[in-house]
Every structure is written in structure tokens, then in C-alpha cells.
A and B are shown apart, each in its own frame.
Chain A
Amino acid sequence: MSDVAIDLIIIGAGPAGMSAALEARAHGLSVAVLDEQASPGGQIYRQVLQADARSRAVLGADYSAGAKLAADFSQCGARYLPNAAIWQVTPQREVHYLVEGRARILQGRHLLIATGAFERPMPMPGWALPGVMTAGAGQILLKSAAMVPAGPVVLAGCGPLLYLLAVQYLRAGVAVEALVDTSQGRDLLKAWRTIPGAMRGWRDLLKGAGLLVELKRAGIRHFRGAGNLRIEGNDRANALSFVSGGQHHRVSAELILLHQGVVPHTQISRSLRLEHDWSESQLCWVPRRNGVGETSAAGIYIAGDGGAIGGAQVAQLEGRLVAATIAGQRNRTRLIQKALGRARAARPLIDALYRPPAQSCVPADDVMVCRCEEVSAGDIRRYVDLGCLGPNQTKAFGRCGMGPCQGRQCGLSVTQIIAAHRHVPPAEVGYYRIRPPLKPITLAQLAGESHSLEELS
């Protein structure tokens, strides 16, 4: 089988995956890139090749910068497989996927998981009501469908994406009803001084400050240090209530967009039983990697936000580093590692500034945490009182994490709720055991599965 395998299979065509493909092709490797979306770019550069001048003006320079990368990627000679739903990956580097309802298998000598990040769950009363979406979803609708809110919209939570979306809506002429900021109004300068390496993070700090200035100038109502967030409504959202500055507030809106940062998408790395560690600075699980991005399984690498949140610049460098390493380009890897050191310098500062408040990671008893099986934080605490030690046991107690999303939306909350209730670190509580199929597949599709080698030759 090895003589027909591809040198490098890349899962994900975001900044990390595209950069890895470019680097690998430059060194003559055969490359196949599978991606869940219809066009390259990942979520950050989503549909960047199709964006018109108006979209680019609204979305800003950081978005448009992805167009060159996506264009170069399209030309690099890597086999690109869009609209691919990956439902299983094996330790032998076999990738099982569905395209247009057909099940196929690709075999790689090396495998790079570049699946990026998704938004950290932000459970609160009413968050499952229609009309509540993530800020990322709002931005995806803007990037992929040029859709913006038609009526009053409230943005709530914390993190750079929340401010960026507010500014993008402003540029598009959308009236943002309120920005409900859950960050605790820390002294920026104080945080800056206490964090190692932060001096080199000033550029990112200014970028964030610039967004806030733009919002202030536009006169958007900006509530700071908000807590006790609650979405009101019976079968659809109609308001967000919260406490800020010691006052109770209620803002009417039928569209409420939530965000409190992003976390690595570890579904594939978990299904492979790779080693993961709890990151206290990023409050999430990160797959264990060595200095060049190789995981605890030989020949399987992770680059970009799927390894730890680092942003698009870091993702591109990590993707290149993996490809140069596989190609045995020692001088090149040293150069990339130097650049990576610089690009990562600001991260501790960003992590500290936008750390989500404990209240919105570990919600009150009445809040639904597992949206698929409709299990509340109180249910999970009761399971713990009955002897449940970790997320895997919550499945047996009440099907928590066993619905269609397979724990993607609740997993992090469940770990943190159990850890807090047991008074132990999250690392001791662990995470769900993730098993294939990672995406829905019918028995008929499974029965018709075949190797896709003939398509590649």
C-alpha cells in the first residue's frame, strides 16, 4: 500500500493547511488536501476568492490578505478535495471521507490535521432559542452570503472576534443595538506589564484598541463587565438581560450573537487517542506536539489553531514548519521556527486580556449545557453527587454528549463543570472518548466505500 500512498494528506484548507500544501509542493511532495467547505480559506478567509470589492471593504484588510494565499494554493498542484466530510481517520493515516454522498479512502505517508478552531461554548439561560447564534456564525453569513442583520442585533461576550464583527457591521451600515462585554474591565497596561513577551505584542494590542475606538466613535452602547446574562423569549429570542455596573439591563433584540473566544477543534485528534493536555492559559484542551508539530502518533502532525490558539499568522508558519520537516529541509525549518517565536510572542497577552469569566464557562444549574440531549448544568452536578467522575460517565448517567454533535458543543463545559464541582483540576476530569463516525454516514454509503487512488493518478 505504501507505494501508492500520498506523501502528505492535509485535513483542512485554512491558513495552516494551505501553507503546508504550498511548502510541501515547493519541495516536490505529493499532496492531497481535504476540506469540509466548498472553497479554500478556512473560516477566517472563508470565500475570500469570491469576495467582491464591497465585501472586502466591509471585512477589512486582514481578511483580504488571505486572497493571495488562497490563490497560490489553488495553483500549487496539490490535489484539492472540497466538500469532504471526514468521518474516520486511522492511526495508519487512512482518511475516510464522504464527497457527494460517496465514501472514499485516502492513504498518506504523513498526515497533517489542520482543522482549526471553533467557538468556545457560551452556555446561558435561553442560548438554545432560535435567534441566538454565535458571532462566528454572523461573520460566516457575512463572508459566505453577504447577509447582515435586518433588525436590532446584540453582540455579547468577549474576545477580538466580537469587536471585529461589531466594526464590520458598522461598516456595512448595520445598527448594533448593544455590545454587552463580559470581560472584567481589567487594566490593560497592568496586564501588559505582567506578561512575559508582551512588549512584542503591542501591534495586536493596538489593533484591538483601534477596533474599540471605532466602536466608541460610532456611539455604540458598550456595557462592560457584564454578568448574569440571560436570553429571554419562549420559542424565539426577544431580549438579552444582564447586570453591568451594578444595574440590571434589558436590551430588546430578536438576533443575539454570542462569543467568548475560540478553542481547538480536537474531534479528530481525540478520535485517534492522541495525548492532550489542559491549557490553563487558554482554558481548553490542546493536543500534545513536539517542536515541529508532530503528535504522540508518529507521522501525524497538527498545525494551526487545532493545536493551540495562535491566530492565522502562527497557523501559516506552523503549516510550513510541518511540511518543511517532512521534506527534510533543515535550514528552512530553522528559519520558520525563528519566525514562529516572534509571531507567538503576543499570545500570552491576548489570552490574558480575553480570558472568559468563570461564570460563563461554569453556568448555573438551570442552564442547558448539552443542547443535543438537553442536559443541564444542574443535571451534571447531580451526576457528580452520585459518583460520576468525568465526561464519559455523564453519558451513562444521562446521555450527555451522545447527541448528533458528539460533544463538540458541550464537552468543554462538561469538563469544567465537573472539575469545579469536584474541586479538582480539569486534567483530572478528562474529556469524552470520541469515536467514529465523526460525521453522519449511512450504511449504504459505508457499504460502497472504496479507495480513491484511481482518481488521483
Chain B
Amino acid sequence: MSADSLFRSLAAAQQNVSIEFEGQPLSVPDKVSLAAALLASGLRHTRESAISGRPAAPYCMMGVCFECLVQVDGQANVQSCLVPVRAGMRVRRQCGAAALVPVGEVSDE
């Protein structure tokens, strides 16, 4: 766990995985939700609101408040408290409302 984190782990041995956050590598605890992993790594805010741009962070941890929205592997508005963390995940803060993908970039998949 990071020294900046509001939380520490009770577990004797913590396994970590590497993800990417805002383009930078980040080592986070494994086998927890993405929101828990981000909190453990000392990130204080994980979203900037669509209205005022205020910084926001996971609040309810159970899928109700939608304060923990992030982008995962290009998908906008993912509830990070409901997604298990996975090695290699590319995560970005959800800043403002999700942008529509320009027509030319829509894939056929």
C-alpha cells in the first residue's frame, strides 16, 4: 500500500498486479475491486465531475453512487467498485461526460 493511501492492508502478504493508470504503470493489490485497488495505491480522486469538474472518489463501494466511474480499456463510465482488478488494465479517470467516439473510429466488432 502507498504511504499516501487512506487505507492499509491487514493481510500479512499482499500480492500485487501491475495496471496502467493515466498512462503510467501502477502496482496495486490483486484480487480486489478496481476501486479498492485504486484507493489502496493512494489515489485520492478517481473522477472529475461532468458539471463542475470537482474531484470525486469511490463513496459507497457497492454500485449505488456512481462516484467511482473510470475508463477501463477505452470503455467510459465503468463502475470501478464492481470490476475486479486485472493485470494490464488500462485505467483513466472519468473526466467530465463520456465523449462519443467519432464515426470513423467505430470498429465492426
B-binding residues in A (CB < 8 A): 36-38, 43, 54-55, 58, 83, 85, 118-119, 128, 130-134, 136-137, 140-142, 144-151, 172, 235-236, 254-255, 265, 371-374, 403-405, 408-409, 440, 442, 444
Contact = CB atoms under 8 A, between A and B. Distances in A.
Nearest to A119: B60
Interface of B: 1, 5-11, 29, 32-33, 36, 39-40, 44-45, 49-52, 54-67, 69, 75, 77-79, 82, 84, 109
A134 B6 contact: no
Given A54-B10, A147-B32, 5 more contacts: A118-B62, A134-B61, A146-B10, A265-B64, A409-B66
Main secondary structure of the interface of B (DSSP, over half): loop
Contacts of A444: 109
B9 A130 contact: no
Given A118-B62, A141-B36, A131 B57 contact: yes
Given A145-B29, A404-B77, A440-B77, A133 B60 contact: yes
B66 A133 contact: no
17 contacts: A54-B10, A119-B64, A130-B55, A133-B58, A137-B58, A140-B62, A142-B10, A147-B7, A147-B32, A147-B40, A151-B6, A236-B44, A371-B56, A371-B67, A372-B66, A374-B52, A408-B64
A149 B7 contact: yes
B61 A405 contact: no
Contacts of A145: 9, 29, 32-33, 36, 40
A440 B71 CA distance: 13
A407 B64 CA distance: 10
Given A128-B54, A137-B59, A144-B33, A409 B65 contact: yes
B45 A130 contact: yes
A147 B36 contact: yes
Contacts of A235: 45, 54-55
